[in-house]
Amino acid sequence: MWEHLQKANFFSINFIYITHLIMTFKNNILIKKNQISYILKKKTKNGLRKSVVFLCGYRSDKSGTKANFIEKLRKKYGFEYLRFDYSGHGDSSGDIDNLYLSDWINESKVLIEKKTNYPIILIGSSMGGWIAFYLSLVTKKKITWNCRNIFSYRLYF
Q: Tell me if 5 is assigned to some domain.
A: no
> Per-residue pLDDT for 7 more than 70?
no
CB-based contacts of 58, cutoff 8 Å, min separation 6: 126, 127
What CATH number does the domain containing 86 carry?
3.40.50.1820
* 118 assigned to some structural domain: yes
Residue 113, in any domain of the structure: yes
pTM across the whole model: 0.78
Buried b (16+ CB within 10 A) or exposed e, 23-47: eeeeeebebeebebbbbbbebeeeb
Domain count, the chain: 1
- For 142, the domain range is 26-148
Is 86 contained in some domain? yes
Residue 21 lies in a domain: no
Strand partners, 147: 123
Q: What is the pLDDT of residue 4?
A: 42
pLDDT at 145: 76
What mean pLDDT is predicted for residues 86-92? 98
12 found inside a domain: no
Q: What's the confidence (pLDDT) of residue 24?
A: 55
Higher-confidence residue of 150 and 22: namely 150
Asked whether residue 92 is assigned to any structural domain, the reply reads: yes
Mean of the per-residue pLDDT values of the chain: 84
pLDDT digits (tens, 9 = 90+) for 93-139: 999 999 999 999 999 999 999 999 999 999 999 999 999 999 999 98
* 45-68 pLDDT, tens digit each: 999 999 999 999 999 999 999 999
Examine residue 4 and state whether it is found in any structural domain, yes or no.
Answer: no
